[in-house]
Amino acid sequence: MTRSIQQLFNLNGKTALITGGSYGLGLQMAHALGEAGARIMLSASQADELETAMAELHDAGIDARWVAADCAVEKDLEKLVSETLQRMGDVDILVNNAGSSWDVPAIDPSVDEWDRVMALNVRGYFLLSQLIGKQSMIGRGGRIINVACSSNTLACNTSQGAVINFTQTLACEWWQHGINVNAICPGEGISHLMAGTPAALSEKRLAAATPLNHLNHLGHAEWLKGISLLFASDAGKHITGQWLAVDCGIHAAKEA
């Protein structure tokens, strides 16, 4: 029997692990999945911020817990997975969202900072996906959502490209295990482009040409809720290996 749209988007009985979940886009996605019925495990590096985020989710009627972990550190990831499985059982949805940027021109390189961005934005995604895959999803199925943010910085944009290719390749490897892997690409906000930096000044015409310029939704409370729920639920069960830019049309304007 064909399910209703409400049934397709329903996450009752599901558990979601969200890294970088203490504020911003991660917390927004936690609200989205929690409102659809999922239990939420939040992770980030700062315990006080996680406690505040958990309280916010509880106030919204969402079952949420937290584990502090630095997703650039392998031992922290192992602890995160172990505690999550002990406290909440199997993970059905993994949202790799923890990330870092590095606003330094390429001519002034810092290998340590570059490595930190890659360790958090790329290596951490791989290690956590591998751990959750082996210990929880393979044999059961699941959803992995990778967040690949863009900016005007070399390291962040390089990591974004790596995450997109990681997403596509992992989707091709793990489809046989019933695991869907997709990526969300939040883009630069119009407000950033118009902020007066040299890069922004050279892109004013791009901002003017952006289809949804008038919405100026960077950081909007509902920005990623719809797409994260689509990728996490049975409504998106036929979608894997894809990336979607949520950027008010900036990507389209650049291509035009």
Q: pLDDT tens digits, residue range 176-197?
A: 999 999 999 987 543 333 333 4
**Which position has the token pair 């906000």?**
189
pLDDT in tens, 120-148: 999 999 999 999 999 999 999 999 999 99
Residue 198 has pLDDT above 70, yes or no: no
Residue 9 has pLDDT above 60, yes or no: yes
Model's pTM, two decimal places? 0.87
Ramachandran area for residue 239 (φ above 0: left; ψ -120 to 50: alpha; else beta): beta
pLDDT in tens, 209-225: 555 555 554 446 788 99
Residue 84 has pLDDT above 60, yes or no: yes
In the chain, the percentage of residues whose pLDDT exceeds 70 is 80
Domains and CATH numbers, the chain: 5-255 (3.40.50.720)
Q: Please return the burial class of 158, using the count of CB atoms within 10 Å of its CB with bins 0-12, 13-18 and 19+.
A: middle
Q: Please, what's the largest Cα pairwise distance for the chain?
A: 60
Give the CA-trace dihedral at 55, 56, 62, 64, to 10 degrees. -50
Beta strand 93-96 with 64-68: parallel, antiparallel or unpaired?
unpaired
117 vs 122, higher pLDDT: 122
Q: Hey, CA dihedral for 234, 239, 242, 248, is it positive or negative?
A: negative
